[in-house]
Amino acid sequence: MTLFDIPVNRLDGTASSLAELEGKALLLVNVASKCGLTPQYEGLEALQKTYEERGFSVVGFPCNQFAGQEPGSADEIQTFCSTTYGVSFPLFEKIDVNGPDRHALYQLLVDTPTAEGESGDITWNFEKFLVSPIGQIVGRFSPRTEPNDPALVAAIEAYLPV
């Protein structure tokens, strides 16, 4: 099974998967609305706008596992993201990224090491995973890595299909 086969629900609860994004480079991010790193939404949206026409998408997965920093309902999350940061990239349902109820997608992602060789549990909100257009997990970036970080931008550009 590839990450494109794993069922994930859209933020509105509609059944879906990442298969609709196959062929694009993806940046998968566990997001939260009440975190010190929440302003990264601005940079993530900038990446989306800069590279979407070249075959790229940010994909957000709200998660409330880190200090309860994503307590909102789906409607509250959508409203916050769209009105505060103009988010246009796809957001999926709130999921667990760690622990016994870890979503199947994150079961695959956590085995990917960082540049420093660290793998395992998600450390905090806004951890980022770069996925190639054919579904290979090709990079893992810490929550503190800003979306405009030169290493992250270079990695994204290396996998743009167009």
Q: For residue range 67-92, what is the model confidence (pLDDT) as tens digits? A: 999 999 999 999 999 999 999 999 99
Rounded to whole angstroms, the Cα distance separating 147 from 47 reads 7
The per-residue pLDDT for 1 is 77
The set of catalytic residues is 35
- The CATH number of 22-158 is 3.40.30.10
List the domain boundaries for the chain: 22-158
State if pTM tops 0.85.
Answer: yes
Q: What is the pLDDT of residue 161?
A: 79
pLDDT digits (tens, 9 = 90+) for 123-142: 999 999 999 999 999 999 99
Residue 116 has pLDDT above 80, yes or no: yes
